Amino acid sequence: MTKSLINVREWYAGRFARFEEGLNGASGSPLHALRRGGIAAFAAGGFPTTDQEEWRFTSVAPIASTEFTPVLVYDQSGVTESDLGEWILARAGSILLVFINGHFSRTLSSIPALPEGVSAGSLAAALAGDPALASRYLAPDPAGEDPFASLNTAFLVDGAFVRVDAGVVLDAPVQILSLSVSSAAPLLVQPRHLIIAGDRARIAVVESYGGKGRGISLTNAVTQIIVGDGGAVEHDKLQLENQASYHVGTTRVTLGRESSFTSNTINLGGAIVRNNVSARFAGERAECTLNGLSVATGTQLVDNHTVIDHAVPHCESHELYKSVLDGNARGVFNGKIFVRQDAQKTDAKQTNKTLLLSDDATIDTKPQLEIFADDVKCTHGATVGQLDEEQVFYLRARGIGETEARDLLTFAFATDVINRVHVDVLREKLDALLHTRLRQGRVTLET
């Protein structure tokens, strides 16, 4: 039975009250002050509805009508190293941080001897060693919090903490692997990841999401990334959870002067998926690139919302989001680029392309530019269509069968984004996953 919004708020307020009871004196900490603010913000509005412009095309009613239980205590839930095989990106010297239902697993993680100036591990442990991290980095977004981000803050317990100090270059990628392990009750899994790259530091981070079992879970993740002056960060995200799961991911990025940030967001799983990616330029002559690929079929819904805030002059942003939709799948793309009054000499480009493989698949796309400066170069565009029959005919005329021709064209459309991933082991894995999913020009549920 569908619960009212009031009951939804009461459900999570009750879980929060129990959480506070078990804190054993830590309820006066700076971190818990943030938690109380988070639950108050969520209780004030509850889950969003389609009456709100930012959620007009995405109903979260199935999420709001399910009593998800926040996972607040670590339990390895029977997961062993052999269960991680299909998720791990094998590369010598790389750092692997494993989280089971949002909690760090030291036994399943692999942390080699770290170079001087590099920290990687549990956010909970980092906060225990330096409580000031909470108020310095985990405070709510001044521009306003999404209800899901507020809920994440309310039950903030653990996540990944990665810091690379000024001038340090980390050659091997860091993989943050989050697994949701199904149980009889629907679970709310809420990792909070904090990634800090100092001035002139360079790092690549792969954030991947999977699951064990076929039960229902809601992953509600928040990732905060700070790129120092002259720093460079590549952030790749792979979401491959089961078809009964829900995923809401919020990624917030701050770019310093002359820095570089690249995001590649790949969505292959989940029943309802929402990605919120926002980047703010805090220093001049910085560059931000946001790429995304969503492949969906059945009744999947994948919603990508992006915001790039050009708050200072002389910065560049490039954005390419693609979707391949089959069956009755639905896609949403809403991309906003703000160019503020003082942000002269801005160069911003945004493109959204969607390939529909069935008559019942749909996409709602809304690229947006809000420009308050007069000396800028800004473009945006969106295309929606099916496979080009002339291209299919061209391939068939050269001896390629029709299904193989459609497969090739679909793969070529999708792999345009995959080829922008610079982490070679991830790119190879994505190629293999796409070949499996895009068989004979159709999307399958197999992974």
> What is 261-275 written as a DSSP string?
EEEEEEE---SEEEE
Q: What's the whole-model pTM score?
A: 0.94
Asked, for residue 277, whether it belongs to a domain, the answer is: yes
Would you say 42 and 9 are in contact if contact means Cβ atoms under 8 Å apart? Answer: yes
Task: Record the tokens describing residue 269, joined without a space.
Answer: 């799983």
Q: How far apart are CA 131 and CA 339, in angstroms?
A: 35
Q: Measure the CA angle with vertex 78, ends 72 and 80; round to 5°.
A: 115
Examine residue 319 and state whether it is found in any structural domain, yes or no. Answer: no
| Structural domain total, the chain | 2
Q: Which amino acid is at 350?
A: Q
241, 219 in Cβ contact below 8 A? yes
Neighbours of 145 (CB within 10 A): 20
Residues 402 and 263 in one domain: no
The pLDDT score that the predictor gives to residue 2 is: 47
Domain that holds residue 440: 387-447
- What DSSP element (H or E) covers 129? helix 123-129
Whether 376 maps to a domain, the answer reads no
Q: Compute the residue count for the chain.
A: 447
Which of 232, 256, 283 is the last residue in one of the domains? 283
User: For residues 165 and 179, what is the distance between their CA atoms, to the nearest angstrom?
Assistant: 28
Give the tokens for residue 335.
């991309």
Pairing status of strand 160-164 against strand 118-122? antiparallel
Domain boundary (235, 259, 283) is at 283
pLDDT, position 441? 63
**Any idea of the CA torsion for 45, 47, 53, 58, to the nearest 10 degrees?**
180
The answer for 93, left when phi > 0, alpha when psi is -120 to 50, beta otherwise, is left
Q: Is the dihedral of CA 26, 185, 47, 272 positive or negative?
A: positive
**399 plus 253 within the same structural domain:** no
| 363 found inside a domain | no
Q: Which mean pLDDT values do the consecutive 10-residue runs of the chain (447 residues) have?
A: 67 92 77 92 92 95 94 85 85 87 95 93 95 89 85 96 97 94 89 98 97 90 98 97 94 98 96 97 98 96 97 97 96 96 96 94 94 93 86 76 80 93 94 83 68
Is the same domain home to 278 and 408?
no
Within this chain, do residues 270 and 144 fall inside the same structural domain, yes or no?
yes
Among 268, 283, 298, give the residue marking a domain's end. 283
What separation in angstroms does the CA of 155 have from each of 35, 39, 210, 226, 383?
6, 8, 21, 22, 40
Mapped onto helix, strand or coil, the DSSP state of residue 47 is coil
Is residue 341 domain-resident? no
Query: d(Cα 96, Cα 108) in Å, to the nearest integer?
Result: 9
Are the CB atoms for 170 and 117 separated by under 8 Å?
no
State how far the Cα of 4 lies from the Cα of 6, in Å rounded to an integer. 5
Same domain, 261 and 409: no
> Has residue 297 been placed in a domain?
no
**Burial of residue 130, with CB atoms counted within 10 A of its CB: 0-12 exposed, 13-18 middle, 19 or more buried:** exposed
The CA-based angle 64-69-74, given to 5 degrees, is 145
Helix (H, G, I), strand (E, B) or coil at 33: helix
Same domain, 207 and 85: yes
Asked whether residue 320 is assigned to any structural domain, the reply reads no
**Is residue 139 in some structural domain?**
yes
Instruction: Give the model's pLDDT for residue 166.
Output: 97
